[in-house]
Amino acid sequence: MKDIINTRCGWAGTDELYIKYHDEEWGRLVTDDKTLFEFLVLESAQAGLAWITILRKREGYKKAFHHFDVEQVARMTSEDIEQLMQFDGIIRNRLKIKSTITNAKLFLAIQKEFGSFYNYILSFFPDKKPIINKFKSLSEIPVSSPESDAMSKDMKKRGFKFFGTTICYAYLQATGFINDHLTGCICRKNK
């Protein structure tokens, strides 16, 4: 894969949905918990799949999980799980659907403990600030970091599912806590 395609990180390729996501969301710091929960749902659903698969089903996830209202998701029941197993708009994996509900309950507990999920994430970062890497090629970008290792380990201890260090690192990239736009990317120049 080329490092830079059409002035942006090469992983975005030429797919319009990927380009829009790359240009408008990926690597931009998210501070609101609703969006942080949305990405938690989407990234954990992505485990073992290509991110573009989840992006294409994003609207389905939005519909299935109450527009990512964490309190409503936390109250979902086994009946809701059965309905979602018939819904084409998401990946119909029973364990992932159940884990979304479990993760919502745990997300609420973290909000209560830390004041916000945003504060919880920052607690894993030096000086409580996002990291801006200066990678020139895609091959330099790691699949995990000390921050994603520590955060995923803590989340696992709390009972979160489908959120290992690689998924956690992708989550931190997506939500801008780790900015891995390549130095030659137009998004880096616009910051």
- Tell me which residue has tokens 């973290």: 110
For the annotated catalytic residues, the residue numbers are: 21, 43, 51
Contact 36, 30 (CB under 8 A): yes
Beta bridge partners of 8: 5
Q: Which amino acid is at 147?
A: E
Q: Which amino acid is at 188?
A: R
